Amino acid sequence: MPSVRRISHEFLERQGLTTIFGNPGSNELPFLADLPDTFRYVLGLHEGAVVGMADGYAQASGRPVLVNLHAASGSGNAMGALTNAVASRTPLVVVAGQQVRSAIGPEANLSNVDAPALMKPLVGWAAEPACAQDVPRALAQAVFEAQLQRRPTYLSVPYDDWAADAGENAPAVLDRQVGRAGVPGGEQGRRLAEAVAAAQRPALVLGGDIDSAGLFDDAVRLAERLGGPVWAAPSQFRLPFPNRHPLFQGVLPAGIEPVSRAFEGHDLVLVLGAPVFRYHEYLPGRYLPEGTRLIQVTEDASAAARAPMGEALVADPAAVIELLMKLLDAPQQPVGDYQPVPAPQSVEGPRLHPEEVFAALREEMPEDTAYVVESTSTNAAWWRQMDLRRAGSYYFPAAGGLGFGLPGAVGVAMAQPDRPVVGVIGDGSANYGITALWTAAQHRVPLTVLLLRNGTYGALRWFGGLLGVPDAPGLDIPGLDFTRIAEGYGVPAQHVTGVDELRAVLSERPDGPRLVQVDTALTTPS
Ligand code: TZD
Ligand code: CA
């Protein structure tokens, strides 16, 4: 009879989960024994970076990814990064090692006491199989739950289980395939199409799911058919629509009152692939203006259930877009020209204005560049200067937890080695996932980390003004030189002082990682 390990490896191989992001310890080594050559283990030096890289990789490849963490301490280190993976609906399958079964009760060192409970609020499913023979099936469930729920899952496996005999039924798991078809039925579909067709002034709100499901271009076709304004939902992790498209109104401000104000005059707001809504700043008001009907279409049943207002249909946005395109007989609207980009703002002296930096990106980087952005105070400057027209152009830490950006950029670049990738990272944000530089150097991941150094937690200064706390301590971060940090991790780096120099550097296409540090002037997020 094959071992639990053999069946588990084979299952993972058949499901295509052969790239493992991890940071192992003693409990995990028995799982890694006899790993077939078809597997690739991508070592990260801290679990936050491990999960950030896996998140970027899973998002850019569109596939579930295996993460290997060490017991409770490694899992704990990963939790902040997992909050982002939850919000970006990334199917990460976390497998953590556990002490041998007989040692968990007495709490031998490295026992993960009540392992599933440790991760429960974050993951969509967590378990420790009740016996070794259930490990392959439970591993399959972890993969399928992650795929179906689009949420990280967690499996804790006592390390003496891997060598155990799998039992005669274990191979049955190898042939399993699980899928979902979320096509709305005739009646539901017709009612939705009627509501959209009857709307005088419909508006579209698109979420990150649109881009992660590969519907970026379909959303453009639907919007042009409807002819109304399009917003990106607040606090989103991907860009679902070309940001200079004539119908695009920008990212909705993340407050109740400004969202409601934006919808003024619209009889229907159709929300596709987003929660309703991920507000951030508490700006109270009515959820919707008088006379506005909101219909949310999402695959995420929890997002449908927890919305505080409106109607919701749990369905695949792809199927709904297709159905609306078929049932709506409105002619294609003329759309006009793409919105022009304003001249970038600039500043005197040794620093660059972030808008000058982003203008240089827009002009020097190829059109299909993917950007992973974790630079909070430069948000407004970013959207003023960028012109992103391709699917998969933009990634952002979905739950606002810093530490995704730099590792996420490494993961995106590993998944798409032929596409240029730039991580736009603040001098504060960089520190939370800095060890990913080492992984990028070891794997020679083609990637530019553009490090924006303004010497402070810029966004928190702005928040201080908003919340009436102008004098909070702990907001400045002087004395960091990322060129030396990067070189210590094996990544070549340069400090750039002028726009022309920056443009020249960006126009090079290195075949490995590099870090480019620029000193920037302070701006506000909005
Ligand atoms: N810790 C974690 C894990 N996530 C956070 N979001 C914060 C702390 C709080 N925080 C923000 O929300 S923005 C920010 C912090 C510390 C400043 C980020 O600094 P930066 O960007 O240099 O990356 P800016 O452009 O200077 O704001
Ligand atoms: Ca900063």
17-38 pLDDT, tens digit each: 999 999 999 999 999 999 999 9
pLDDT at 179 over 80: no
Dist. CA 19 → ligand 1 center (Å): 30
Residue of the CA atom closest to atom 14 of ligand 1: 457
Cβ(80) to ligand 1 under 6 A?
yes
- 3-state DSSP assignment of residue 448: strand
Dist. CA 377 → ligand 1 center (Å): 9
pLDDT at 332 over 80: no
Quick one: pLDDT at residue 187?
Answer: 86
Q: Which listed ligand is nearest to 464 at the C-alpha?
A: 1
Quick one: pLDDT at residue 37?
Answer: 97
Cβ(432) to ligand 1 under 6 A?
yes
The pLDDT of 260-276, averaged and rounded, is 97
Active-site residue identified among 25, 167, 227, 310 = 25
Quick one: pLDDT at residue 429?
Answer: 98
Q: Is 400 known to be catalytic? A: yes
Q: Over pLDDT 70: what percentage of the chain?
A: 99
- 3-state DSSP assignment of residue 357: helix
Q: Is 28 known to be catalytic? A: yes
State the Cα torsion 368-372-378-384 to the nearest 10°. 20
Q: Which residues contact 43 (CB under 8 A, 6 or more apart)?
A: 22, 23, 439, 442
Cβ(52) to ligand 1 under 6 A?
no
Quick one: pLDDT at residue 312?
Answer: 87
CB 483 within 8 A of CB 517: yes
Dist. CA 398 → ligand 1 center (Å): 13
Active-site residue identified among 56, 74, 208, 400 = 400
Q: Residue 511 class from Cβ within 10 Å (0-12 exposed, 13-18 middle, 19+ buried)?
A: exposed
Q: Length of the chain in residues, anyone?
A: 526
pLDDT at 334 over 80: no
pLDDT digits (tens, 9 = 90+) for 69-102: 999 999 999 999 999 999 999 999 999 999 999 9
Phi (first) and psi of residue 387, to 5 degrees: -140, 90
Runs of H (alpha helix) within 15-70: 29-32, 47-61
Considering only 321-325, 406-410, 487-491, which range has the smallest mean pLDDT? 321-325
Supply 476's token pair: 């400045």
Considering only 165-169, 411-415, 420-424, which range has the smallest mean pLDDT? 165-169
Q: Is 26 known to be catalytic? A: yes
Work out the number of other CB atoms within 10 angstroms of the CB of residue 66: 24
Active-site residue identified among 9, 22, 28, 111 = 28
Superfamily of segment(s) 354-519:
Thiamin diphosphate (ThDP)-binding fold, Pyr/PP domains (3.40.50.970)
Q: Rg (Cα) of the chain, in Å, rounded? A: 24
Dist. CA 430 → ligand 1 center (Å): 9
Q: Over pLDDT 90: what percentage of the chain?
A: 89
Closest CA to 140 of 320, 4, 316, 290: 4
Between 172 and 290, whose confidence is greater? 290
Confidence of residue 483 (pLDDT cuts 50, 70, 90): very high
Confidence of residue 231 (pLDDT cuts 50, 70, 90): very high
Cβ(400) to ligand 1 under 6 A?
yes
Q: Which listed ligand is nearest to 377 at the C-alpha?
A: 1
Q: Which residues contact 114 (CB under 8 A, 6 or more apart)?
A: none
Active-site residue identified among 9, 46, 70, 266 = 70
Quick one: pLDDT at residue 1?
Answer: 84
Q: Which of 235, 375, 376, 425 has most ligand 1 atoms within 8 Å of its beta carbon, as the pocket-test mutant?
A: 376
Active-site residue identified among 105, 265, 280, 498 = 280
Supply 25's token pair: 């310890």
Tell me the C-alpha distance between 255 and 284, whole Å. Answer: 7
Q: Which residues contact 406 (CB under 8 A, 6 or more apart)?
A: 49, 52, 374, 423, 425, 429, 430, 432, 433, 434, 436, 437, 449
Confidence of residue 341 (pLDDT cuts 50, 70, 90): very high
Cβ(31) to ligand 1 under 6 A?
no
Q: Is 250 known to be catalytic? A: no
pLDDT at 446 over 90: yes
Closest CA to 213 of 319, 308, 123, 303: 319
Q: Which of 375, 402, 404, 482 has most ligand 1 atoms within 8 Å of its beta carbon, as the pocket-test mutant?
A: 402
Q: What is the mean pLDDT of the chain?
A: 95
pLDDT digits (tens, 9 = 90+) for 133-167: 999 999 999 999 999 999 999 999 999 999 999 99
Quick one: pLDDT at residue 339?
Answer: 96
Q: Which listed ligand is nearest to 460 at the C-alpha?
A: 1
Confidence of residue 129 (pLDDT cuts 50, 70, 90): very high
Tell me the C-alpha distance between 41 and 19, whole Å. Answer: 6
Q: Which listed ligand is nearest to 525 at the C-alpha?
A: 1
Its CATH class, for the domain covering 4-175, is alpha beta
Dist. CA 405 → ligand 2 center (Å): 13
Cβ(382) to ligand 1 under 6 A?
no
Runs of H (alpha helix) within 115-215: 115-119, 135-149, 186-198, 208-212
What does DSSP assign to residue 337? P
The pLDDT of 194-213, averaged and rounded, is 96
Q: Is 70 known to be catalytic? A: yes
pLDDT at 458 over 90: yes
Residue of the CA atom closest to atom 16 of ligand 1: 457
| Domain spans in the chain, listed from the N-terminal domain onward | 4-175, 186-327, 354-519
State the Cα torsion 170-174-175-180 to the nearest 10°. 110
- 3-state DSSP assignment of residue 210: helix
Q: Give the chain's end-to-end CA distance (angstroms, integer).
A: 62
CB 148 within 8 A of CB 159: no
Dist. CA 448 → ligand 2 center (Å): 18
Quick one: pLDDT at residue 82?
Answer: 98
Dist. CA 452 → ligand 2 center (Å): 7
Between 3.40.50.1220, 3.30.43.10, 3.40.190.10, 3.40.1390.10, what CATH number should domain 186-327 receive?
Answer: 3.40.50.1220
Cβ(248) to ligand 1 under 6 A?
no
Confidence of residue 281 (pLDDT cuts 50, 70, 90): confident
The pLDDT of 351-369, averaged and rounded, is 98
Quick one: pLDDT at residue 169?
Answer: 85
Q: What one-letter code names the amino acid at 84? A: N
